[in-house]
């Protein structure tokens, strides 16, 4: 009944900032199950990065956006 996990909790080379960023990315409602092409991936990530920097409120910086800080 044990299933394999691809998460790596408490490893010595863990980067909590990038892990948090990946989690935010992965749980976006429009995150595609699969990208159709490299161009599709770049287009999606361009839109995501713009949203993340200009609209997404970050709790670690007082619910401001990175662009406003």
Query: 17 phi and psi, to 5 degrees?
Result: -70, -45
Residue 43 reports pLDDT greater than 90: yes
Flag whether the pTM goes above 0.75.
no
| Measured distance CA(68)–CA(22) in Å, rounded | 22
> What secondary structure letter does DSSP report for 13?
T
Residue indicated by tokens 């161009």 = 39
* Mean pLDDT (the chain, rounded): 85
Instruction: Provide the pLDDT for residue 26.
Output: 86
pLDDT-derived band at 1 (thresholds 50, 70, 90) equals confident
pLDDT digit string (tens) for 23-39? 888 888 899 999 999 99
Q: Where are the domains of the chain?
A: 38-63
Question: What is d(CA 48, CA 32) in angstroms, rounded to the nearest whole number?
Answer: 12
Which tokens in the block code for residue 2?
A: 């044990």
């Amino acid at each position: 009944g044990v299933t394999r996990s691809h998460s790596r909790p408490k490893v010595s080379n863990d980067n909590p900032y990038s892990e948090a960023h990946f989690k935010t990315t992965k749980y976006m409602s429009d995150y595609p199950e699969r990208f159709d092409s490299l161009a599709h991936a770049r287009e999606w990530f361009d839109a995501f990065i713009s949203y993340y920097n200009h609209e997404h409120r970050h709790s670690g910086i007082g619910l401001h956006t990175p662009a406003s800080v």
